[in-house]
Every structure is written in C-alpha cells, then in structure tokens.
Amino acid sequence: MVTKAAEAKEIFLIKDAPIPANELDHPSIPYLSRHALTRHYSIHEGWSSPGFFVGDSTNLDDLVCHWNLRAADISLWFVDINHLQRYSNVIPAWESSMRDMVSHWHEFKRHVAIWSRQEINDQKALEEIRKPFGALQLMVTNVTIYSWNGLNIRPPMMSFYQVSTLGLIGKERNKPKVTFSLIEKPFCDDAWFNTQHLVASISVTFGLYGDEQHTFNPPFVPELNEFYARTMHLEYNKLRIESERIGLIMDASDTDTFLYALPVSDLMERVFSMAGFSSKPSSAGLIARQLIARVGGLQGGRIFKIPGVRRLIKTHGPMASFNKRTALQLIGGNDQDNPSAKFDDHQGLYIEPRPYGTKLNPVAVFSHLVEKGLFRIGAELTCPSCRLVSWVALDTLKQQVTCELCGNEYDATRQLVNGEYHYRRSGVLGLEKNAQGAIPVVLTLQQLDTNFHGVYRENLYSSSLDLEPKDGIDLPKCETDFVWVIARPYPHRTVVILGECKDKGPIDATDIDNLRRVADSFPRKRFETFVLLAKLSPFTQEEIKHAKSLNDKYHRRAILLTSRELEPYHIYERTKTEFDIERERYGGTPDNLAEATVKMYFAEESSTDLQP
C-alpha cells in the first residue's frame, strides 16, 4: 500500500556488503513518521545532538533505547557493533549531513554525538566506542536510566503547524464557554474519514478578565484528565491535559469544537483530594471571596496596603457610625502602635484612575471605599420622643422618619439641614470576627498576584478552606487561610502555596505543624509545595523558630511576610534596604521568596547546608 501510494522504487541491499552512501538521498519509512512535523516551543529542549547510536541489533534494550531516542526527535543512525564493516560508506555521509543540520544551531549545541548504552568508565571504553568513527570529532553521550529524568532528554511535543482562530465566548451551565472553528487542517477532512482521530492542541491565549473563579488554563496534572474532560468538554475520553495546552481528541471531519471554563473551586477540591483531603470553603473564606469581589478583584485589594484604611475598619465596629472628618483623620494620620507607618508612603499608589502626576490623598481613598460599598452613607438622627440616637441609611432616609427604637414618627427636616452624613461598615464587613481575618488574606493574595503575574501566566487561588482527611488517612483536620496554585510547564511541577494569615494574632506550633503535614501529603511527582506565613505585625522569635522547622536540608519552602513586605507595591521594596537580597529582590517566584526568607530570618544557615 505504501509502495503504491508513494510510487516507491525498491532497492535491494546485498547482505554483508557496505551500505551505499546514496541511500541517504531517499526518504525512509522512519522519515515518513516525522514528515511535516515541527517541535512546539512549549517543551523546553534537552539533550538533542544528532548523530549515531552504537548498539547490538540482537539486544532488545539497545533497540528500544534507539527507538525512544528517535521518538524524542533526535536524528540517529543505528550502528550495529556486530556489522561495523557495513557502515564504512554511511558513517562519513551521515556525519556530514548531521553537521549541516546543526550548523544553524547555537554554537554551544553544534555537536554531532555518539549515543550508547554501554558503560563508559575509563579512557579505554571511550576509545572503543569511538573506534568505528576514526578521526571524526564526535561527542559521546552515555544513555542511562537517569537520562530520562526530565532534566536531560526531553521528548518534545510535535505538531504539523499552528494557526490562530477567533473564538466566540458566551455562558452556558453557569460557566464561560468558548466555541471556535478548526481551520486550515493539514490533512484531508472529507466526511469519509470521520473514523480517523487526531489531537487538536489548544492554547487559549485570552483571559477571563474580571472572572477569577474560572480558568481555561488548568495545571498539568494528567491524573485529573477524566475530571478535566467531563468538566470542560463533557465527554470523559475526548480531552487530555498537555503542558501549557489542552489536547482535544477530534474526528478528521470535525469543523468546530468548544471548551467550558474550569471552575477553580472544583479544581481545588480535586487537587486536595489527591493529597487525601476533602475540602470546602470556610465561612471566613466566603467573606474573603465577597470582599475581593466587592473591591473589584485581587488588585482592588491594594487599598488595604494603606495602614489608615485598616485602622479605620478596626476602630469602628459594624454598629458604630462616624463622620467624614473622623475617617480622614484615621486614614491620613499616624498609628501610635506603629509610628513608622505613614500615609505619605502610599501617595504614589493607584487605587483607581487619576491624572498622571497627582498624588493620592485621604479624600480620594475614603471616596473609593464608599464607592466600592465597604461603607454605607446615612445620618444620625435623635428621636424627640425617646431621645435616643439612631442611624438611618441614605437609601431609606426621608424627612418624615419613624424611630426604629420606639416607633414614634417625627419630622427630621431640621436635623438633616443642620447635620452631616455619618458612615457605617457595610454587610461584607459587618461580621466582626471574619472581617478582620479577611483583610490580611486579601492583602497577601494581592501581593502574590502582583509579583507572580505574567502576560502568559495564570495564577489560581482559593480563599480559606476547611480540610478534613478522608477515611482511614492519618492527617489533621484543619483550615488553610488561602491556597495559591501556579501552573508551570513540564517538567516543572505545579506549585501549591498554603497560607496562614494573621492581623496581630500569634501563629502557634500547631498551625505550622498542620500546614507541614498538609504540604507533605501532596504527591511530589506532580506538586511542589510552599508554606506562606503572613502577619501585619513582626514575627516573634518563637514563631520564627517554628517556621524554620518547615525547611529541611535540601528543601526551602517557608515564606514569611509582614507589613514591611505587604504594604509596598514591590514586595521587597523596603526589605532590600535592610538585607542582602539582591538576587531575590523582585520576588517573582516562590523559590525567590523562600530564599529571601532564609536570608532574613534563618541567616545562620549556610548556603551549603540548604541547597534547593
């Protein structure tokens, strides 16, 4: 069939005679398997020097190794040690062809190599491997089981070519849905070939702007393929996750397809299930999520960087009212408990659009808080009957008012003319207990979003979760204040950051031990875990001692942040003046944050004792 379709010419080779060099001028069957395919940029290249594979054709392990290297897109000619005389013509011709191939590569990669499974322990073994190639300048690469650890040989993703198509986004089943056409397919798409299946590798480059609860870019965790498929494409066997992409299995005759956005809450539930936990949002987490939505997303949380804003919320409880003058004094004034915290430090902060060159002032800050619904406008009125003061919201304020305390109806006209507005915390801040805990969580999440954000990188997060171990698993029943997930390209593992946030309360040994056990429960093959401890006040020596125990000899995963790191726009803007953290000053990765934490709090540990 291949002979007829390709109009091939059969050439017979004489047994035991040298293979003619002109055989390289004709495409072979191994060539056809790669025809028109190119490497995709999403898989970073590993060892890939083309050349020769020296092995024994009667040894199945050698044959499999050669096939696997070819499948990793490394061009190799198999040289059988039992028939070396047959390659006398082919070796120089193939070496010349490979030299031409690598001539346009980077200089440090312009090598033609000899690959072999044979052990190379000394110079004699090396010379034995090189013997069939004479004076040719070839690099020798020994293939072992460790060559396939994801750091050396990396099988690339191969594709025909890439095209861009316009997607139509809408909403269905309470989830965003994108529909798009399959255009410029590099194969015959006649309906006759409907039983032929291929994989369309999809990269959704647009973001769900304003929707932080869904994603089109889930992390590379193949164990969740069925979950991804059922949630994003309905059919359990029509989708598989790829590194930075999604593979949709399609019929050759398909003309269009679709994807549903993945709910982040469902993803978090599945991720913790892999760690042995059942998870659900806690009441504090729900408050934090509503607070984030109220301020317009994570970046809206930068308003809480200003110490005076946090002081205003803390000073006046849910039932306390205050006037504008009092609010401006608290926002713009100094904190007696922390005299170094000044409003002037945040005059360059942008909480909303304003003319370039103008500075932020307390009036703009307070107006922003009221506009976002964190505070309600009303008036304090005194009932002439019971003589008690009550607060009436602006939405229900009238000249004829009924006292909520005694039921008397009275005319409040003169009080309204001579009075002023008074403000109260709104419903999202109305629960005293959870509101105070939500603010450091939101502030920490905002800072992580600022430092980990990238144009083509999407971060996923969840506010506080209640964790309960599954039956028969010895794990703690506990709570994490937030979870931050960073999807990274293979072979890097997906990052999971577990957070504990406090205003000024203590973080005790039990909190840290629970987070350690949760972090240790994630499968190390797929996840790299960090534990982040954040406080709006300095850490005590006892807390630092317990946090230090999260690190071990070869793994740094403890991240400590205080108001010194959370209040500036750039996380180490203030800290870099006190510590030598030049290399980690941007805090762009969890590893940078963990390294900086060691230098700030665990300085006595030498870099040789703690290697990442």
List the single range of 128-132, 189-193, 260-264 with lowest mean pLDDT.
189-193
The structure tokens listed for 59 are 């040894």
CB atoms within 10 A of CB 219: 24
Helix (H, G, I), strand (E, B) or coil at 579: coil
pLDDT for the residue 609: 41
> Taking residues 211-227, what's their average pLDDT?
94
Beta bridge partners of 472: none
Report, as an integer, the average pLDDT of 471-479.
92
Strands 527-535, 494-502: pairing kind: parallel
Q: What average pLDDT does range 56-81 have in this prediction?
A: 95
Q: Binning pLDDT at 50, 70 and 90, where does residue 429 land? A: confident
Does residue 1 carry a pLDDT above 80? Answer: no
Give pLDDT, residue 580.
82
Quick one: what percent of the chain has pLDDT higher than 90? 64
Q: Of 578, 552, 558, which is closest to residue 507 (Cα–Cα)?
A: 558
Q: Quote the mean pLDDT of the chain.
A: 89
Going from N- to C-terminal start, the domains of the chain cover 2-158, 161-274, 285-429, 432-601
Assess if CATH 3.40.109 describes domain 432-601. Answer: no
Better-scored residue on pLDDT, 319 or 269: 269
**Does residue 606 carry a pLDDT above 70?**
no
pLDDT digits (tens, 9 = 90+) for 436-455: 689 999 999 999 999 987 64
Q: Report which of 315, 427, 321 is spatially closest to residue 378, judged by C-alpha positions.
A: 321
**Inter-CA distances, 362 with 155, 318, 322, 334, Å:** 57, 21, 15, 13
- The count of other CB atoms within 10 Å of the CB of residue 83 is 13
Query: Which carries the bigger pLDDT value, residue 374 or residue 12?
Result: 374
Residue 516 CA to residue 552 CA, distance in Å, equals 12
pLDDT-derived band at 523 (thresholds 50, 70, 90) equals: very high
0.85 exceeded by pTM: yes
CB atoms within 10 A of CB 44: 12
Give the model confidence (pLDDT) of 120-137 as tens digits. 877 888 888 888 998 899
| pLDDT higher than threshold 90 for residue 607 | no
Model pLDDT, residue 610: 38
Q: Evaluate if residue 306 carries a pLDDT over 50.
A: yes
Minimal CA–CA distance to 271: which of 259, 279, 263, 261? 279
pLDDT at 338 over 80: no
Mean pLDDT of 226-238: 95
**Secondary structure (3-state) at 493:** coil
Higher per-residue confidence, 604 vs 581: 581
Residue 436 makes CB contacts below 8 A (sequence gap 6+) with 313, 314, 503
* pLDDT bracket for residue 186 (50, 70, 90): confident
Q: Report d(CA 416, CA 491) in Å as an integer.
A: 67
Torsion (CA) 535, 537, 542, 547 in degrees, nearest 10? 30
Which run of H or E residues covers position 546?
A: helix 541-548
The residue among 552, 529, 564, 566 whose CA lies nearest residue 598 is 552
d(CA 370, CA 152): 56
Distance between start and end Cα atoms, the chain: 55
pLDDT for 455 equals 46
The answer, yes or no, to whether residue 280 has pLDDT greater than 50, is yes
Running DSSP on this structure, what letter comes out for residue 105?
A: S
Average pLDDT on 596-609 reads 72
